[in-house]
Chain A
Amino acid sequence: MAPSGIAPIDSVTGGIPKGALTQVCSPRWNSSGKTALLLSLVAQTTNQGEFCALVDAGDCFDPLSAEAAGISLSHLLWVRCSQRGSVPALEQAFKAADILMQNGGFGLVAVDLGNQEERLVRKIPLTTWFRFSRVIEKMPTALVFLAPDAYAHSCSALTLHLASIRPRWDRIASVSHGRLLDGMDFEAEITRARLKKPVASAKPKFTARAEWLG
């Protein structure tokens, strides 16, 4: 198990399983905390001296946020996909993930499909997810997919659904829009956990701070 760095989630799930596939799901256009969770997980992994690979299907990773999260950027391999000729970014992302899995040596391989259209991700055959889950079984690597919904079904060892509760503001002036963003509260729902069964009603909550924005 690799700690995610978010205590409420770790206490319920025991962390992100290594040698297994994990899904972090949330709708495409909603702020839900999936990126905060990913950055926290990468920061924890690189802090232990391990290397991480991020396959970014939407090229939406923000290095400034990552640095604020405490990620050792030199330990991170960032693969930026984008539509190239007739090859869609989604196809590139899966090919890149395949190459990284074959190579091995990474403590975490994360594939961010969060910005991809749901209708395209839904078309990925179940055999592809099954193949990934079988390949990762014998590796000391955590494989994490950020996706709009849970498409890997039973191939996933842990599935988290995230949603936002509310933003936190610091009002600094009398004008209505004179606010400073303080952070956001998120909520996670564990819909599948093969390794450690959580309490069914457990919905861990966490806050992501925006101190770095100031």
Chain B
Amino acid sequence: MFACIYVPDFAVQAAMRNEPGNLDKQPVAILEGPESLRKVVAVNAAARLRGIEIGMSKLQAEVCPGIVLRKRSIPQEETAQAALLDCGCRFSPRVESTSPGIVLVDLSGTKRLLGTFEEIGCNLTASAKNCGLFVRIGIASNPDTALHAARGCGGISVVPSGKEAAFLSPLPIETLQPRAEILDLLDSWGIRSFGSLAALPRISLVERLGQEGLLLQCLAQGEIQRELVLTDAPLSFEETLELEEPLDLLEPLAFILNRLLEQITARLQARALGTDRIRVALELEVSPDRQLEDAGQGTQRKLFHRELKLPLPTQDYKLLLKLLQLDLAAHPPDAPVKKVTVTAEPAELRFTQSGLFMALAPEPGELEIALARLRAVVGENDSAGRPRVGSPVVLDSHSPDGFQVLPFKSIDQNSTSKLLPPVPLALRVFRPPLPARVVTEQQVPVEVVFRGMKARVATAAGPWRGNGDWWNAKTEWGREQWELMLDGEVISGLYRFFREIRSSEWFVEGMYD
């Protein structure tokens, strides 16, 4: 058995599926062509009822009260077709992308797994609705009968095996979509349904209409068996929305992102996949000069990219939305947004078994949001380009303050209990080192002044000389290090001082604490 997923008024649905709000009952017309000669190329049922027809000019269509006019977008149609394919793939790996708005699914051997054909039809409809598409389903023993049943009937149509001709019989001949000349000829003969075409004598029909006539009759009788041309398109999860009016605030943009992410995660769910990398491309409308724009001269467009990486794949669009909101709040686009494209990189979902006696760990999804919020509070990087939030790592180097900060992860952390060393003396580092004035006697420090505070040196230990990176003039360092026990009114304790060999300047590196 084969199922056909058919999207009526595909161009309209593709253009409207990402728009927030319910626009199902509103008349919608899709326009195409140059700005001055835009014509209606597709309409929905509500617009058809109000007299809007294909071929009308934009001016004629605008007469209809409450009509929504949208420019045709091929990328949006391609995305909608990909979403439709994802719906089909949820039920069977054997799917065919027949034409825009039509996908055929081979259901052979799935009855015990997925239930009756009526149930499969209902689930297909629900799955397509999740992707923002309202579809008709036809299920039959051959692909073409399933297609015609879906196209000619509403809702879910299951054609009983062996009764294809009888089922298709009342359908109008236009459902077959023959060439206009053949349709006119059949109309002049009084042939207006599948049944009347199927009843014509075969030899006489071939004599008058040739092989094309024979093909149409076989289709009308539901007799043609063919193999599906299976799709092998690469997995791409991308959703686009071009806005009629540019957005200059982040809040309305969040609604758009929410809709696009909802669509993408629904498609990922259909393929049992998640995403660990989300890319957002915003097309910005930049007006180089306001006066030029007012004078009717064109505006420039530039692209603004942001990318989010997650430690593990997710299907949670609310999590992705929150992360994108925080990221865009930290790095806002500098011009109004005209077009939004969200791309998700698919990844296999990972499942972990929790244990009763496992140590406490932050939940990865919530942790990502917390890290993004922390970055918004303390900033991304310090003056040396090291992140301000993350896990520290000591570099394999003798250079002072040699460390790096890596992204913090609460997963894939294997820890084994080890024997800890005795309590070590810790250094509190001053970043950057504090400039100091040091009085020496016989090259041994006896008094220090820093931050306007003075202290006597009770005990001095040193100097410990060190240098490194002598092969690189920019990063070369050399210094004399001292441990000084200070005894002052405010300052008292053990401090680490150093004198730079090049400049002979003294600094306080830190305090032993």
Contact = CB atoms under 8 A, between A and B. Distances in A.
A47 interface: yes
Nearest to A57: B378
Interface string A62-104: 1111111110111111111110100100001001100110111
Given A70-B420, A80-B378, A32 B359 contact: no
A51 B426 contact: no
Contacts of A76: 391-392
A211 B424 contact: yes
Nearest to A69: B424
Interface in B477-513: 483, 485, 490-495, 510-513
A44 B418 CA distance: 10
A69 B421 contact: yes
Contacts of B370: 99-100, 102-103
Contacts of A160: none
A47 B378 contact: no
B392 A73 contact: yes
A183 B425 contact: yes
Nearest to B490: A29
Contacts of B366: 103-105
Nearest to B364: A105
Interface stretch (A126-134, A149-157, A174-182, A193-201): A174-182
B205 interface: no
A140 B408 CA distance: 21
B423 A177 contact: no
A32 B421 CA distance: 20
Residue of A72, A80, A82, A103 with most chain B CB atoms under a 10 A cut-off: A80
B423 A65 contact: no
Contact of A106 (B360, B424, B425, B493): B360
Given A82-B382, A179-B461, A206-B423, A167 B494 contact: yes
Interface string B395-439: 000000011010011100101011011111111111100000000
Interface of B: 358-363, 366-367, 369-370, 373-374, 377-379, 382, 388-394, 402-403, 405, 408-410, 413, 415, 417-418, 420-431, 444, 453, 459-462, 483, 485, 490-495, 510-513
Given A80-B389, A211-B424, 17 more contacts: A30-B491, A36-B424, A39-B424, A62-B427, A62-B428, A63-B393, A66-B392, A66-B426, A73-B393, A74-B413, A78-B390, A99-B374, A105-B367, A177-B461, A208-B423, A209-B424, A210-B424
6 contacts: A62-B426, A70-B421, A167-B512, A183-B425, A184-B494, A212-B425
